[in-house]
Amino acid sequence: MEGQRRHLSRLLVAEQNRSALLSDPSLRLLNKRLIAQIKKQIAALDLRLKQLIEESEELCRKARQLTVVAGVGPRTAALLLAQMPELGELNRREAAALAGHARQTHHLWRPSRRAQRALHGRFSGHSPQPRPGCLLPKTARCR
């Protein structure tokens, strides 16, 4: 469900950007209707996610704990619970590693300089890419 919502959000932004380039009134009307339909679908998914969280006692408890954190609202809490259902059962280091924010040391594997140059750009040897929803609270906290 979270993947579908992310897809619809990207589609909405693309259509809104495209609407600025349309000059034909009939195409503008079609684009406006499409944008309205995408917004309806996003709202329906948000409502369903909210219902799923409210139906589960455990998810409801975890969502309440997450929304206490500055920068985390109901939507971000739902996103985090969808991507990382283990939240609330892990310590902070395990949660950071799961989210992709933990620093990982690779002291056991030291490639030669030539191998490092060959790998540059394809494998950085550092932490994995963070999950999309995990950057939002971090950004809000920094402001």
What is the reported pLDDT for 32? Answer: 96
Condensed to tens digits (0 to 9), the pLDDT of residues 15-57 reads 999 999 999 999 999 999 999 999 999 999 999 988 988 898 9
**Does 138 or 29 have the greater pLDDT score?**
29
- Given a contact cutoff of 8 angstroms between Cβ atoms, the answer to whether 109 and 126 are in contact is no
Calpha distance 88→61 (Å, rounded): 9
What is the reported pLDDT for 37? Answer: 97
Confidence at 118, pLDDT banded by 50, 70, 90: very low
What is the reported pLDDT for 121? Answer: 47
Mean pLDDT for 128-132 is: 53
User: Nearest Cα to 76, choosing from 90, 86, 89, 62?
Assistant: 62
What is the reported pLDDT for 64? Answer: 87
The label of the residue with tokens 């609330």 reads: 88
Return the domain boundaries, the chain.
1-55, 57-143
- Given a contact cutoff of 8 angstroms between Cβ atoms, the answer to whether 99 and 76 are in contact is no
The contacts of residue 80 (CB under 8 Å, 6+ apart) are: 66, 72, 87, 133, 134, 137
User: Nearest Cα to 42, choosing from 84, 72, 12, 86?
Assistant: 12
pLDDT of 140 higher than 60: no
Report the predicted TM-score, pTM, of the whole model to 2 decimal places: 0.62
What is the reported pLDDT for 111? Answer: 54
Calpha distance 22→39 (Å, rounded): 20
Condensed to tens digits (0 to 9), the pLDDT of residues 52-99 reads 888 989 888 888 888 888 888 888 888 888 877 677 676 767 666 666
